[in-house]
DNA sequence: TTGTACGCGTTATCAT
DNA sequence: ATGATAACGCGTACAA
């Protein structure tokens, strides 16, 4: 049985209140009393019991981060950065993967754990706006575009602009038949829709014709999906001379298909992705991409949550929207 | 204020104990009483308070998984699998990254959270045996080789055998100058030492000479380290015709260096890695590797922990050691 | 400045 | 089968 406040109090010859004061850094404690208590704490190896503390205060010091999947390098990176940012506020982070299943996402938001976490940073995938309306108990920060208008802050990059930048880059290279890989039909696939919009806008701007034959649909955003989509594009009779993939994983898959068929990248087909994951810096060829400022995203998410959780803070203030910069990173897959 | 047992009890016209019985599936409850309570629970949207439950029972239903880094695909995959396995026991998983810093690893094992977690699955990197001796409070399962002899179970693959298999495969290809990338000097780098031992053993077995000039040391196990090491190997005058990299990330980095210098893989240099991460299945060329049975590792880790946590279980029984199979996966980087 | 006593929501031990 | 009540360890009015 680990020592409690009571044990420390007994050993130091003071009351529990005094020990509590010392532990919580209360100011008005006589120096020698404080020293005696400190000594007792050290001697006993006292550690506050979080359960009891939470039961009293309602705060657990734990926030949750929910991402579609940890296997995806982008989300793994983001989760890691959020953990680092939260650590600076001495919060513990509970990382959850939803596998993009609405069921799991809903469970997470409404379920057992809502008692145990103070806040939630959530990167929704399957979950549409209405599902989130129910939840009003704990502060939440959404990652990604604003797809609903409930009382949650969110931080996002401009997906449409990023996609347009990528596509424009391909246009500037003189490519005339620029395909897109990553289209998704589901109405909840907001990211895919926005990147498609940006792609189309840039195409129109360059006077290039769009068309269903150069817009490849995928089931997921993984390498295998990109590889399969690229194969379809190549087999379709009139192959593209450039491809904008909606994320780097798709692009790496596409790259694989191109190279295994003996095509040159970027010679025959230029390829650009989105996310700037580490893999792209060491693939052959290295992968051009649109790089969101992930560090800033993580910091902002934690900061927004902190403001909602802060003592006199506007816990119920209006939802805020923060936009984070992105930049185009040109590497071998388009520069050559 | 969310409803508690008391509220449900009042609404159902029963005592808190009865509600508690219903919630916990106690058998001796009259059917109609149970129904009335259930109705009240639904109506009020009652959810048990975990903090209170833990305060009573001493159990939080949370286990922690500590890995060196989530950015590493292998660990991300493993963590994901453990989460899935834990879910089947309705445990919540707290994922921690230690960044391989002994300081953080120690803090984790001894720190604040020890009250809040029931068990720990730990993949130590920097932490040597003695540091772990202190900890005796919560059950722990170690991932990786047994490097100490405290009271903790551990599950591991046979690193030495795996490394030997990989090296032997290169020998069978007829390669005569087989280099290794991934040597680490630190005494705590047990994985590196074991893979080196397996490599050397296979070399000896094939009658091939070892040597410091074909054993490349690295600071970490990332792509960049592999790329740099490969460059050194190539610049050393007598380049190898095959390389065994101690993990896939190193191999992908090495691949990058080889290809960017116009060398053919496996034509000029064959490359094999270790871990079987997804990236290797889509690189160009695809990467041969040694595949640990990660699913089984995850399941076993959770299972061992469950046994320690089980009611009448031997919470203090002798430490157990479980070995998990691995298999050689031959892909393009060595077949051709 | 420090001590006493109560309550947070549960589970467990008795009774009934 | 169900109810009353005492802990679990901590924070906090309120009292001293």
Query: Residue B143 and residue B152: Cα distance in Å, rounded?
Result: 10
Q: Flag whether residue B23 sits within 8 Å of chain A, measured between CB atoms.
A: no
Quick: pLDDT tens for B152-201: 888 999 999 999 999 999 999 999 999 999 999 998 888 999 999 999 99
Give the nearest partner residue to B77 out of A48, A71, A259, using CB atoms.
A71
Helices (H), A173-262: 190-205, 223-235, 248-260
Rounded Cα–Cα distance for residues B231 and A161 (Å): 38
Give the nearest partner residue to A92 out of B76, B113, B282, using CB atoms.
Answer: B113
- More confident position, A115 or A93: A93
- B223/A69 CB distance under 8 A: no
Distance between CA atoms of residues B150 and A74, nearest Å: 37
A55 min Cα distance to partner chain B (Å): 6
CA nearest to B62 within chain A: A94
Share of chain B above pLDDT 70, in %: 88
Q: Nearest-CA neighbor of A122 among A87, A94, A163, A92?
A: A94
Mean pLDDT of B8-22: 91
Q: Would you say the C-beta of B56 is within 7 Å of strand D? A: yes
- The mean-pLDDT minimum among A184-188, A326-330, B231-235 falls in A184-188
B60 touches strand C (CB under 7 A): no
Domain ranges of chain A: 5-48, 159-291+328-335
- Coil, strand or helix: which one is A328? strand
Helical spans, DSSP H, in A236-314: 248-260, 294-309
- pLDDT, tens digit, 9 for 90 and up, residues B114-162: 667 888 898 876 554 445 555 556 788 999 876 666 678 889 999 999 9
Number of residues that make up chain A:
336
Residue A52 contacts strand D, CB under 7 A:
yes
Name the token pair of A148: 């609903």
pLDDT of the residue at B127: 52
Residue found by looking up tokens 């939260």 in the block: A86
Q: Could you say which DSSP state residue B154 is in?
A: E
Nearest-CA distance B316 → chain A (Å)? 16
CA distance A321 to chain B (A): 28
pLDDT on residue B101: 61
Beta bridge partners of A272: A244, A288
Looking at the complex, does the CB of residue B137 fall below 8 Å from at least one CB of chain A? Answer: yes
B325 in contact with A, Cβ within 8 Å: no
Classify domain B159-291+328-335 at the CATH superfamily level. Answer: Response regulator (3.40.50.2300)
Q: Are A240 and A233 contacting, i.e. CB atoms less than 8 angstroms apart?
A: yes
Best probe of the A interface among B279, B285, B295, B336, by most A CBs < 10 A, is B279
The rounded distance, in Å, linking the Cα atoms of B60 and A112 is 12
pLDDT band of residue B88 (cuts 50, 70, 90) is confident
- The reply to whether the CB atom of residue B10 sits less than 7 A from any atom in nucleic acid chain D is no
Count Cβ–Cβ pairs < 8 Å, chain A vs chain B: 126
Q: Do the chains contact at B69 and A50, CB–CB below 8 Å? A: no
SS3 percent helix, strand, coil of chain B, rounded to 5, is 45, 15, 40
pLDDT band at A202 (very low <50, low <70, confident <90, very high): very high
Q: Is B279 on the interface with A (CB under 8 A)?
A: yes
Whether B60 contacts chain A with CB within 8 A = yes
A206 touches chain B (CB under 8 A): no
Nearest nt to B26, CA vs C1'? D1
CA(B10)–C1'(D9) in Å?
27
A5-48 and A159-291+328-335 share one fold: no
Q: Does B49 touch chain A (CB under 8 A)?
A: yes
How close, in Å, is residue A186 to chain B by CA atoms?
25
pLDDT at B80: 86
**CA dihedral angle for residue B264, residue B265, residue B270, residue B275, rounded to 10 degrees:** 150
| B67: nearest CA partner in chain A | A80
Which strand D nucleotides have any atom less than 7 A from protein CB atoms? Answer: 1-5, 7-13
Which of A2, A52, A115 is facing B49, going by the closest CB pair?
A115
Q: Which residues contact B54 (CB under 8 A, 6 or more apart)?
A: A51, B60, B61, B116
Query: Do A301 and A295 form a contact (C-beta atoms < 8 A)?
Result: no
Q: Return positions of chain C under 7 A from a protein CB.
A: 1-5, 7-13
Nearest nt to the CA of A9 via C1' is: C3
CB A176 within 8 A of CB A141: no
* B95 in contact with A, Cβ within 8 Å: yes
- Across the range A187-205, mean pLDDT stands at 94
Comparing C-alpha atoms, which of A101, A137, A108 is closest to residue A122? A108
pLDDT at B249 over 90: yes
pLDDT at B58 over 80: yes
- At B245 the pLDDT is 98
B333 touches chain A (CB under 8 A): no
Contact A284, A81 (CB under 8 A): no
Strand C proximal to A10 Cβ, under 7 A? no
CATH of B5-48, one of 1.10.1740.10, 1.10.260.40, 3.90.76.10, 2.60.120.380: 1.10.260.40
Task: Report the DSSP beta bridge partners of residue A20.
Answer: none
């Amino acid at each position: 049985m680990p020592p409690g406040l009571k044990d420390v109090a007994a050993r130091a010859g003071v009351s529990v209140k005094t020990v509590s004061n010392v532990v919580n850094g209360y100011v008005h404690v006589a120096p020698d009393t404080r020293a005696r208590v400190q000594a007792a704490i050290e001697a006993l190896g006292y550690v506050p019991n979080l359960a009891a503390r939470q039961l009293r205060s309602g705060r657990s010091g734990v926030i949750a981060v929910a991402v579609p999947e940890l296997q995806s390098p982008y989300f793994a990176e983001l989760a890691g950065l959020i953990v680092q940012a939260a650590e600076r506020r001495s919060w513990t982070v509970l990382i959850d993967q939803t596998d993009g299943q609405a069921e799991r996402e809903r469970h997470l938001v409404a379920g057992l754990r809502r008692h145990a976490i103070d806040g939630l940073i959530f990167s929704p995938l399957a979950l549409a706006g209405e599902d989130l309306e129910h939840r009003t108990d704990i502060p939440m920060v959404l990652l990604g575009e604003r797809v609903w208008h409930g009382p949650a802050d969110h931080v996002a990059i401009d997906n449409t602009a990023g996609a347009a930048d990528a596509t424009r880059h391909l246009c500037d290279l003189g490519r005339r038949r620029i395909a897109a890989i990553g289209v998704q039909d589901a109405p909840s696939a907001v990211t895919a829709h926005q990147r498609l919009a940006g792609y189309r806008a840039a195409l129109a701007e360059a006077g290039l014709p769009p068309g269903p034959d150069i817009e490849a649909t995928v089931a997921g955003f993984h390498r295998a999906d990109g590889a399969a989509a690229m194969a379809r594009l190549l087999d379709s009779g009139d192959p593209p001379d450039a491809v904008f993939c909606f994320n780097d994983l798709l692009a790496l898959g596409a790259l694989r298909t191109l190279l295994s068929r003996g095509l040159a990248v970027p010679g025959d087909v230029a390829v650009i992705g989105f996310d700037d994951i580490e893999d792209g810096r060491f693939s052959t060829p290295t992968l051009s991409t649109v790089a969101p400022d992930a560090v800033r995203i993580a910091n902002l998410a934690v900061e927004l949550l902190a403001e909602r959780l802060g003592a006199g803070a506007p816990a119920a203030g209006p939802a805020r929207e923060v936009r984070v910069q992105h930049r185009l990173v040109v590497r071998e897959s388009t520069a050559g």
